[in-house]
């Protein structure tokens, strides 16, 4: 065991001490509070499936209190100038940077994601706040549209209190990706974090409180999706729901929000193709293919879970993928050497294992992995897996497995690759590896995906639109796209006083 690993273990114990002793509360109107009902639920670590601690289990009563706090706070927060918001949001980023190590360790322990990624995710969270802090002063900006005898100008105003519901795969980073633009836009927030990874949401609440934001601007209510989450989506004071999670939950939320005509923004599942042509830089393609399915335990919406490989290079390329998989380091997530940690929950492990069984029944061949890992005596470890001889109609090619599992499908030519790539319900991301510029342009226009990376892994630029088509989502995040969601656009049309008004009843 290296010294850094040992230190990580020691430090995380210190950080978790209070969570192990006391129930993790909600954060409502600037205070830590327990559920009105006194109800709690347990949260365990995927490392050993031992209970870390108890979490307050919110229900409609707690959501009601949080929504009222957000509603009251909206009156003040929306009027605070962009300049002040910018300063406050930068202070939040400072606070995140100061506690980044703690956030990364807790997140890693709670979610099973390897520390090497969670350290970066914590810093990216600070970057999210800095980015939207700088945009706050111009959030209300609109357009001026000159018409005949009329002047139109548009402006944006915050939509009101919003609900933010997040998943467990990179909980802290995803929460900041939603909360930062909402606050910069002038919205107040009720956040419902995922029940399998609740801890870091409280750290964010503390940081935001310490930065000096008024009480009620950010509220956090823990609880199950079907109770706390549902109540949030149904509350009429909440004007919009930003949701990241499974496609089926998205459709549930849309139904729940229908009566109150909720505006929704959905970032949902994916079954993303990485298409590798024989003219590509195959060494770089190999790096990207392996990274985009085996990083973050494959529990990543933009993971390239379908490898579409051209027939002519199939044998050679798949051989190299296998060699890489053999060397992947599966282990304790707090070990800096670890590349793949345990899956979030026993239930999720069972789901992933279920696909191994069904793949073989459907006729795919497992050439690497395909089993629970020998490290799994107490934790949720699974072997990184490669399926070959996969047909795109198989379940493993159509459904989001959300684990370190790659399905390889071969194609003959460009049109064949395109047909396979688009033949899924999802449409989040697609990765294309070719040195033929014309082909890259042709394909990127026809691929049904919200984000396409050519000769690259998922490389994020915060002003660029992030989101999916088809069952992968509704709406886009990033830069100004985020403000379009969290704000209403208002048009103001002023006459010059010169135009003729039709005279009725004269
Ligand atoms: P999930 O849909 O099960 O849960 C997400 C959140 O929704 C949790 O907080 C949960 O409590 C809540 N929820 C569940 N039912 C609800 C209901 N009826 N009403 C309101 N809230 C409810 O998703 P998960 O298993 O936590 O996360 C994994 C999924 O997230 C994967 O499908 C993944 O692709 C997706 N994801 C997408 C993106 C993206 O940007 N597109 C990013 C990360 C994760």
- Identify the pLDDT of residue 258: 98
Q: Sign (positive/negative) of CA torsion 470, 475, 478, 481?
A: positive
**67: phi then psi, degrees, rounded to nearest 5:** -65, -35
Compute, in angstroms, the gap from residue 167 CA to the centroid of ligand 1. Answer: 4
Question: What average pLDDT does the segment 383-395 reach?
Answer: 97
Is the pLDDT confidence value at 378 over 90?
A: no
Spot the catalytic one: 67, 107, 301, 383. 301
Q: What does DSSP say about strands 162-165 and 189-192: parallel, antiparallel, or unpaired? A: parallel
Phi-psi region of 297 (alpha: psi -120 to 50; beta: other; left: phi over 0): left
- Identify the pLDDT of residue 377: 74
Q: What does DSSP say about strands 487-495 and 150-158: parallel, antiparallel, or unpaired? A: antiparallel
Tokens representing residue 135 in the block = 């945009």
Compute, in angstroms, the gap from residue 245 CA to the centroid of ligand 1. Answer: 2
Q: Specify whether the CB–CB gap between 66 and 31 falls below 8 A.
A: no
For ligand 1, whether the C-beta of 245 sits within 6 Å is: yes
Is 267 tagged catalytic? yes
Task: Name the band, by pLDDT with cuts 50, 70 and 90, for residue 422.
Answer: very high
Residue (of 453, 446, 391, 452) closest to 414 by Cα position: 446
Q: Sign (positive/negative) of CA torsion 491, 497, 502, 506?
A: positive
Please name the residue that has the structure tokens 């990274």: 291
Residue (of 178, 199, 202, 203) closest to 100 by Cα position: 203
For ligand 1, whether the C-beta of 432 sits within 6 Å is: no
Q: Where are the beta strands (DSSP E) in 294-403?
A: 306-310, 365-368, 385-388
CA separation, residue 414 to residues 9, 102, 284, 309, 393 (Å): 49, 47, 20, 11, 19
Is the pLDDT confidence value at 376 over 80?
A: no
Q: Specify whether the CB–CB gap between 33 and 25 falls below 8 A.
A: yes
Task: Name the band, by pLDDT with cuts 50, 70 and 90, for residue 266.
Answer: very high
For 345, which DSSP code? -
Is 358 tagged catalytic? no
Residue (of 450, 440, 387) closest to 417 by Cα position: 440
Tens-digit pLDDT profile for residues 35-77:
999 999 999 999 999 999 999 999 999 999 999 999 999 999 9
Tens-digit pLDDT profile for residues 284-336:
999 999 999 999 999 999 999 999 999 999 999 999 999 999 999 999 999 99
Q: Which residues contact 7 (CB under 8 A, 6 or more apart)?
A: none
For ligand 1, whether the C-beta of 478 sits within 6 Å is: no
pTM of this prediction exceeds 0.95: yes
DSSP line for 69-125:
HHHHHHHHHTTS-HHHHHHHHHHHHHHHHHTHHHHHHHHHHHH---HHHHHHHHHHH
- Identify the pLDDT of residue 467: 98
- Identify the pLDDT of residue 139: 98
For ligand 1, whether the C-beta of 194 sits within 6 Å is: yes
Q: Specify whether the CB–CB gap between 205 and 92 falls below 8 A.
A: no
C-alpha of 239 from chain center: 21
Task: Name the band, by pLDDT with cuts 50, 70 and 90, for residue 1.
Answer: confident
- Identify the pLDDT of residue 374: 81
């Amino acid at each position: 065991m290296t010294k850094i690993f040992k230190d990580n273990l020691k430090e995380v114990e210190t950080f978790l001490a209070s969570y192990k002793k006391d129930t993790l509360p909600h954060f409502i109107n600037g205070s830590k509070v327990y559920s009105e009902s006194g109800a709690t639920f347990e949260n365990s670590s995927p490392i050993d499936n031992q209970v870390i601690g108890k979490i307050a289990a919110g229900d409609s009563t707690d959501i009601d209190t949080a929504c009222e706090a957000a509603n009251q706070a909206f009156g003040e927060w929306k009027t605070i100038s962009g300049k002040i918001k910018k300063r406050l949001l930068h202070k939040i980023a400072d606070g995140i940077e100061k506690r980044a190590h703690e956030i990364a360790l807790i997140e890693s322990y709670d979610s099973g994601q390897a520390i090497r990624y969670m350290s970066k995710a914590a810093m990216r969270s600070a970057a999210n706040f800095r980015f939207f802090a700088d945009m706050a002063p111009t959030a209300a900006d609109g357009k001026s549209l000159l018409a005949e005898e009329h002047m139109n100008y548009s402006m944006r105003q915050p939509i009101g209190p919003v609900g933010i519901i997040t998943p467990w795969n990179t909980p802290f980073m995803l929460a900041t990706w939603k909360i930062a633009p909402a606050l910069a836009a002038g919205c107040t927030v009720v956040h419902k974090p995922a029940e399998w990874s609740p801890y870091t949401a409280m750290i964010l609440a503390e940081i935001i409180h310490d930065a000096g934001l008024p009480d009620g601007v950010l509220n956090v209510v823990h609880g199950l999706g079907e109770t706390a989450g549902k109540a949030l989506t149904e509350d009429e004071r909440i004007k919009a729901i930003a949701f990241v999670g499974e496609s089926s939950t998205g459709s549930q939320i849309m139904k729940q929000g229908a009566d109150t005509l909720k505006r929704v923004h959905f970032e949902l599942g994916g079954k993303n193709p990485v298409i590798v042509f024989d003219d590509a830089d195959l060494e770089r393609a190999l790096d990207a293919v392996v990274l985009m399915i085996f990083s973050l335990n494959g529990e990543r919406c933009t993971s390239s879970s379908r490898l579409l490989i051209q027939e002519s290079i199939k044998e050679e390329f798949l051989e190299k993928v296998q060699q890489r998989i053999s060397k992947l380091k599966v282990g304790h997530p707090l070990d800096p050497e670890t590349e793949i940690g345990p899956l979030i929950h026993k239930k999720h492990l069972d789901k992933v294992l279920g696909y191994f069984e069904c793949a073989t029944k459907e006729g795919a061949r497992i050439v690497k992995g395909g089993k629970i890992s020998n490290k799994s005596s107490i934790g949720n470890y699974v072997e990184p897996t490669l399926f070959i001889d996969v047909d795109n109609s198989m379940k493993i090619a159509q459904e989001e497995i959300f684990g370190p599992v790659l399905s390889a499908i071969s194609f003959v030519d460009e049109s064949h690759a395109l047909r396979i790539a688009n033949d899924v319900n999802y449409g989040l991301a697609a990765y294309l590896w070719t040195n033929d510029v014309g082909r890259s342009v042709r394909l990127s226009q026809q691929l049904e995906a919200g984000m396409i990376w050519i000769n690259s892994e998922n490389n994020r630029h915060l002003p660029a639109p992030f989101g999916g088509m088809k069952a992968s989502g509704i709406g886009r995040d990033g830069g100004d796209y985020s403000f379009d969601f969290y704000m209403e656009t208002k048009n103001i049309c002023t006459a010059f006083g010169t135009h003729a008004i039709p005279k009725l009843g004269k």
